[in-house]
Amino acid sequence: MAVLKIARMGNATLRHPCQPVKDPTAPAIRALVSDMVETMLDAGGVGLAAPQVRVPLRLVIFQLPPSRADIEDAGADDVEGGHEDEDAASGATDPTTLPLHVLINPVITPLGEETALGWEGCLSLPRMRGLVPRYTHIRYSGVGLDGKPFECEAKGFHARVVQHECDHLDGILYPMRMTDLSLLGYNDEWARHPLDAPAADRPDAKAAE
């Protein structure tokens, strides 16, 4: 395994749709996933997409902290921000023991029109976060490393993470989903100048990565 360099916003690999994985069971794909896991853990993230490590393939990985696996959006979730999970920061959860989700050639279907706003960060936009609308209930399907297809429903933070990571596969970064770019900023500035909003909705109210 190796820690790979994470591409930042502006990198060409992040700006274009990715190609499908032809053989999910190939040793090279398994090796890529191992390197992506090492990179994600090193960066303190909960998710990572292949184009973020400069590999233009339709593959994402993520881990859901137990406190976030089944909750609804509360307006303060922080996706893929790096070192933002309270449980991990306090030592209450060991990220190396969390179940790993590998999605190859994923497809997302919204289940309903309801959306919710939530704070998201991204390892490709370090030290920043913004308020992003996402579907609250989705179905996603794909193929695993064993080559077998699967399907899953997700709500809340789980659904947000999947949508965020799969956007990378189409060359979309979360600011492109935002409806108000005044709500995009640096974490330290949000901490010094919080929004005039209830505590649960402020970006300085940490949630998950």
Catalytic residues: 165
Burial-class residue 48 by CB neighbours within 10 Å (0-12, 13-18, 19+). Answer: buried
Rounded Cα–Cα distance for residues 55 and 75 (Å) = 32
* Cα-based angle 90, 79, 167 (whole degrees, multiple of 5): 155
Task: Look at residue 115 and give its three-state secondary structure.
Answer: strand
User: What is the identity of the amino acid at 104?
Assistant: I
Rounded Cα–Cα distance for residues 134 and 15 (Å) = 20
Question: Contact 97/17 with Cβ under 8 angstroms?
Answer: no
Q: Find the DSSP H helices in the chain.
A: 27-43, 86-90, 156-168, 187-192
Q: If we measure between CA atoms, which residue out of 1, 30, 59 comes closest to residue 146?
A: 30
